[in-house]
Amino acid sequence: MTGLQFQDLTSQLIDRTVRRVAGLREFLGTLGSGGAGMFEDSDSEQVTQLLSRINEALAVQHLQLKGVLHKAVQQNDMGSGAIELF
């Protein structure tokens, strides 16, 4: 029984790590696509607007991912009590 519970906790941790990596990939993709519109001859107002749009897009992604990624990995009803990791 303990082995199955350990396997469940490990599966939860792996799934959580995969989701975090996918979220990071999305963040980096947003930065890459947003930064592609910046040119060497851009004036400060254009750069400010571009950075503002990138910041807004990242804030939206952060809120979307926050609820999904911020969950504790837990296993209840073990013989010695409940366990919560991270």
Please say if the pLDDT value at position 27 is more than 60: yes
**pLDDT reported for residue 75:** 59
**pLDDT reported for residue 58:** 83
The alpha carbon of 61 is separated from its chain's Cα centroid by a whole number of angstroms, namely 9
Given a contact cutoff of 8 angstroms between Cβ atoms, the answer to whether 9 and 75 are in contact is yes
**pLDDT reported for residue 73:** 58
Question: What is the DSSP track for 62-75?
Answer: HHHHHHHH---EEE
What's the pTM value of the predicted model, to 2 decimals? 0.56
Q: Which H or E run contains 84?
A: strand 81-85
Q: Read off the tokens for 39.
A: 């040119």
**Which region among 10-14, 23-27, 40-44, 76-80 has the lowest average model confidence (pLDDT)?**
76-80
**pLDDT reported for residue 68:** 67
